[in-house]
Structure 1
Amino acid sequence: MPRTPRKPSAIRRKAASATVAAVSATALALTLSGCASYDAQSPKSARNAAYDAADNGKGGSPLPAGAVDCRKAKCIALTFDAGPSEHTPALLKVLKEKKVSVTFFLLGHNHVDKYPELVKQMAANGNVLGNHSWTHPRLTDLPPEKIRAELDHLDTEVERLTGTRPTLMRPPQGRTDEKVSKVCKELGLAQVLWNDTASDYATTDTALITKRILDKADRDGIILLHDLYQGTVPAVPGIIDALHAQGYTFVTVPELLAPATPEPGKVYRP
Structure 2
Amino acid sequence: MASRNTTRARDIDRSNTCTLLDAGYGEGQLDFDEHKSRTSAAMSARTLGELESLVTDLQLPKALTDTLAAPDRPAPPRRLVLLVGVAVAAVVVAAVTLTALNKDGPDPAPAAAAPVVAPLAPNPPAPPAPDKYADVAPVVIPQIDTITANGIEQFITRYRDKFGDTLVYEATFFGDYARLTRVVPDQPGREQPYSFRGGFEADTATSHSGAEPPFDLTSIDLRALAGHLGGAAESLRVPGGVISHISTEVDQDDGPQISVYVNNEATGASGHMYLRPNGEIAGMYPYSPNG
Which bin holds the TM-score, normalised by the shorter protein?
under 0.3
Point out the structure with the larger helix share: 1
* Structure index of larger Rg: 2
State TM-score, norm by structure 1: 0.26
State TM-score, norm by structure 2: 0.24
Ranked by relative contact order (alpha carbons within 8 Å, sequence separation 6 or more), the top structure is 1
